[in-house]
Amino acid sequence: MEKYYRMKHLIKKHRRKIVYTTPVLFFIFLTYTAVVSPDKIPVADFSLVSSSTKGLVGDTFAVDVNVNTDTPINAIESSLSFPPEKLEVVSIDQTNSIIDLWVNAPSFFNDIGTITLGGGVLRKGGFVKTGKVFTIIFLTKQTGTVKITAEKTSFAIADGKGTLVAPKINELSYEIEALKIPAQNPDMNDSKTVNLVDAGIWVTNIFKPYSPRNDLNGDGKINLRDMYFFFQ
């Protein structure tokens, strides 16, 4: 009886720690408790999909991170990589995600070009077929071909044993092209040189009503594409 009350006291005292650490321990157990030889592991797809394959410097584009599996799964862990000198993550949208519990919510690190994630599916029987994990919004920074890849990815089958699924991964290629010759001269102060002073004048003017003088690429908008011409 004394041991019972002692245990009850400990549970009450450390209730917050138990609540917050149990999902983490559950995910670790779910993901890593079983190891199966590669020839016996079902295959699932972890795909990166974009509606466009090329754009200009200063553009943004969306990449959907999807899962396609005929075998029910209940946990996902992955790390995505991208060239930080050419791309920058603007935001990550988790709307309509198949993940119910994020153990490691999608986080991006633009300085090293990495996105990490880890989460579980709580629905009975796990997840099967095709679904979105999240959507990444990228900003293009430099010209060239970029590749976005998924690394260190693992799924766990909803079999109660934490059996790992060998994911079939595709990488996404995106072509970033240079802007054309500006429709307007970026030499904002007519000094015959283009430098940060001109960029400062342009930034000040963009808060004023639209003016063709500030629309350097002539596309009818004033945005990051125009800013590009100050750094050529």
Answer whether residue 12 is part of any domain: no
pLDDT averaged over every residue in the chain: 80
pTM exceeding the 0.85 threshold for the entire prediction: no
Q: Residue 86: which residues within 8 A CB-CB, separation 6 or more?
A: 140, 141, 142, 143, 144, 146, 176
Clarify whether residues 201 and 169 are in a common domain. Answer: no
Mean pLDDT of 183-201: 82
Give the pLDDT of residue 21.
41
Cα distance between residue 79 and residue 115, in whole Å: 6
Q: Residue 61: which residues within 8 A CB-CB, separation 6 or more?
A: 50, 51, 52, 55, 137, 138, 140, 174
- Decide which of 133 and 160 is more confident: 133
Clarify whether residues 53 and 162 are in a common domain. Answer: yes
Mean pLDDT of 94-98: 94
User: Any idea what the CATH number is for the domain that residue 156 is in?
Assistant: 2.60.40.680
Contact between 196 and 230 (Cβ < 8 Å): yes
Clarify whether residues 194 and 169 are in a common domain. Answer: no
Mean pLDDT of 54-73: 92
* pLDDT surpassing 50 at residue 39: no
Cα distance between residue 76 and residue 11, in whole Å: 30
Clarify whether residues 123 and 207 are in a common domain. Answer: no
Mean pLDDT of 136-154: 92
Q: Of the given ranges (35-44, 70-79, 127-136), which has the lowest mean pLDDT?
A: 35-44
Domain range for 52:
25-177
